[in-house]
A and B are shown apart, each in its own frame.
Chain A
Amino acid sequence: MIWEFELVLFVFLVFAAIVALEARNLLVSVVMLSVFSFSAALLFASMGAVDVGFTEAVVGAGVTGILFVIAIHKTSAKTND
Chain B
Amino acid sequence: MEMFLANYAYGFTLLILCIGLYGMFFKRNLVKKVIGLSIFQAAVIMFFVSLASKMGGTVPVKWDEIPVEMIDGYMNPLPHTLMLTAIVVGVATQGVAFGLLVNIWNRFKTLEEDTLNEAILEDSRD
Structural contact, A60 and B84, CB atoms closer than 8 A: no
Structural contact, B101 and A56, CB atoms closer than 8 A: no
B59 neighbours in A (Cβ, 8 Å): 48, 50
Contacts A17-B20, A37-B42; is A52 near B87 (CB within 8 Å)? yes
Residue from A29, A48, A56 in contact with B32 in the complex, judged by beta carbons closer than 8 Å: A29
Q: How far is the CB of A75 from chain B (nearest CB, A)?
A: 4
Question: How many residues of chain A are within 8 Å of chain B by beta carbon?
Answer: 43
Q: How far is the CB of A25 from chain B (nearest CB, A)?
A: 11
Residue from B8, B20, B42, B53 in contact with A48 in the complex, judged by beta carbons closer than 8 Å: B53
Size category of the B interface is: 35 or more
Mask, B41-79, CB within 8 Å of A = 1, is 010011001101111111111000000000000010001
Structural contact, A44 and B49, CB atoms closer than 8 A: yes
Residue from B23, B45, B46, B95 in contact with A21 in the complex, judged by beta carbons closer than 8 Å: B23
Residue from A44, A71, A79 in contact with B29 in the complex, judged by beta carbons closer than 8 Å: A79
Structural contact, A40 and B42, CB atoms closer than 8 A: yes
Distance A46 CA – B8 CA, assembled complex (angstroms): 15
Known: A7-B8, A52-B84, A68-B98. 7 other contacts (CB 8 A): A17-B39, A20-B35, A26-B29, A33-B38, A44-B46, A48-B49, A49-B80
A residues with a Cβ closer than 8 A to B are: 1, 3, 6-7, 10, 13-14, 17-18, 20-21, 26, 29-30, 33, 36-37, 40, 43-44, 47-52, 55-56, 59-60, 63-64, 67-68, 70-72, 74-76, 79-81
Closest 3 CB pairs of A and B: A48-B75, A10-B12, A75-B105
